Chains A and B, each alone.
Chain A
Amino acid sequence: MKLIVTATAPDIDAAVDPRFGRGAYFIEIDTETGQWHAHENQAVNASGGAGSQAAQAVVRQGAGAVVSGDFGPNAHLVLAAADVRMYLLGTSKTPREAAAALAAGSLPEVSGPTSPGHHGGRGGQ
């Protein structure tokens, strides 16, 4: 399965980024092989709709699950519609730790948006 963890730098051992919509990088990890690469999040500079844009990028990458610090209403809507499971970081400091914690079943799953969102945060029309 493809797992995405938001990070501040393009490395599986970099510090996690608690923001989903404006996290600097998506670290994509293949949970079966352990292979990973870093995808730049171009929603970082969007004036509005970053959550939705980031979520669409993640869906395009074929993610099965995402781990981050918070999911705004637009991001949640898009990810839920694409059956991408959302988890919070807990105490994980790096994407590698987050992947291990997820495999151990110790990350809380998210069922609704965790924050009210910023621009246009009405969860879509």
Chain B
Amino acid sequence: MAAAAGSRGAVAPPLRIAVASGKGGTGKTTVASSLALSLAQGEPGLPPPPPPYFLDCDVEGPNAHLFLKPDLRRRRDVLTSIPHVDAAKCSGCGKCAEVCQYHAIAVLGKKTLVFSQLCHGCGSCTLVCPEGAITEEPRVTGVLEAGRAAGGIPFARGVLDVGEPMATPAIRQLKKWAIPAPGPAGAVVILDAPPGTSCPVVEAARGCDYLLLVTEPTPFGLHDLRLAAEVAAELGMPAGVIINRDGIGDAGVDAFCAQAGLPVLMRIPFERTIAEGVAQGQTLVEIHPEYAPRFRALVATVLEQVGSQPMTSSPSGAEPVRRGRARP
């Protein structure tokens, strides 16, 4: 899935925009998929640009496929490494259990028990075993899927198996698999993050260039937006806000954004037609095509905010090129 390096001139890592929210159900996926389609369409009258990549990182409840309708041709298992103890070599010393921070391995006499759902696959027990009795076996906890979606968008997602507790390995492996290597300047990757503010969101947002926070103008929305803004601060990422279902609640979110210096990049008024269309898997740009240029303008604003990034020099050693999309 790596993009080929440009034949001449600019090579840059893609611009990675993570769409998160704190509170669930504010419209992350609606926004992320609409954003991707708007970019894929390009400006009217001009040849369409290379479409953005889309990663659905909400591995516990992936929904973006309902909006972008990908043909998921490629799959890869999400694997974690679980220790396997060779009983013939095991001396019962218990060092493995001693180092395991998750109590995932227990030693009873010379018998060992592994609790695979507690295991984080860190490899520590394998390294410390003085008898070399531990090898690692792969265990599947989910699947990664990829293919082309609407608008020619390269789409990838992770799906955590039901009953599996840990989402973060699936998200980490999805990003490694599906985010393209540095290539022609102007490539964009949109990551649809899970709800919440804890480790799955952080895993999705890490390493991204910008955090787009989708909120609703209600007390629940505000409460969780504050937390999401703190995540952005912890990660040292610039952030901006989209207020979805504008008009249903109060002005608390606006007041917070003003006070926190968070730009409100777009407002999407509550409309029953939008709610009904989204319920059926329609993106905003299909319900109201006039949103497409607004989303493209939003990305241009994001680029400006991110824009003071280090220059990347081209392989030919010519003029350094500023990372980002060429303006139409």
Q: Which residues of A contact B (CB under 8 A)?
A: 10, 36-40, 42, 53, 57, 60
Interface of B is mostly: strand
Q: Given the complex, which residues of B lie within 8 Å of A39, measured CB to CB? A: 74-77
Of all chain B residues, the one with the shortest Cβ separation from A10 is B74
Q: In the complex, A37 Cα to B74 Cα: how many Å? A: 6
* CB of B79 within 8 Å of the partner chain: yes
Shortest distance between the CB of A46 and any CB in chain B (Å): 8
Q: Determine whether the beta carbon of B75 is less than 8 Å from that of A42.
A: no
The 8 Å CB contact of A37, one of B75, B77, B79, B140, is B75
Q: Determine whether the beta carbon of A38 is less than 8 Å from that of B77.
A: no
Shortest distance between the CB of A87 and any CB in chain B (Å): 22
Shortest distance between the CB of B85 and any CB in chain A (Å): 15
Interface size range of chain B in the complex: under 10
Query: Inter-chain contact count A-B, CB under 8 Å?
Result: 26
**B45-79 contact mask (Cβ, 8 Å, vs A): 1 or 0:** 00000000000000000000000000011111101
Of all chain B residues, the one with the shortest Cβ separation from A28 is B75
Q: Determine whether the beta carbon of A10 is less than 8 Å from that of B140.
A: no
Given contacts A42-B138, A53-B138, A60-B140, contact A37 B76 (CB under 8 A): no
Of all chain A residues, the one with the shortest Cβ separation from B78 is A42
**B146-163 contact mask (Cβ, 8 Å, vs A): 1 or 0:** 000000000000000000
Q: In the complex, A10 Cα to B1 Cα: how many Å? A: 11
**B66-104 contact mask (Cβ, 8 Å, vs A): 1 or 0:** 000000111111010000000000000000000000000
Q: Determine whether the beta carbon of B74 is less than 8 Å from that of A57.
A: no
Q: In the complex, A39 Cα to B138 Cα: how many Å? A: 16
Q: Determine whether the beta carbon of A37 is less than 8 Å from that of B73.
A: yes
Q: Given the complex, which residues of A lie within 8 Å of B72, measured CB to CB? A: 37
Shortest distance between the CB of A50 and any CB in chain B (Å): 11
Shortest distance between the CB of B104 and any CB in chain A (Å): 21
Of all chain B residues, the one with the shortest Cβ separation from A26 is B75
A-B contact pairs, 10 of them (CB 8 A): A37-B73, A39-B76, A40-B74, A40-B75, A40-B76, A42-B76, A42-B79, A42-B138, A53-B138, A60-B77
Q: Given the complex, which residues of A lie within 8 Å of B76, measured CB to CB? A: 39-40, 42
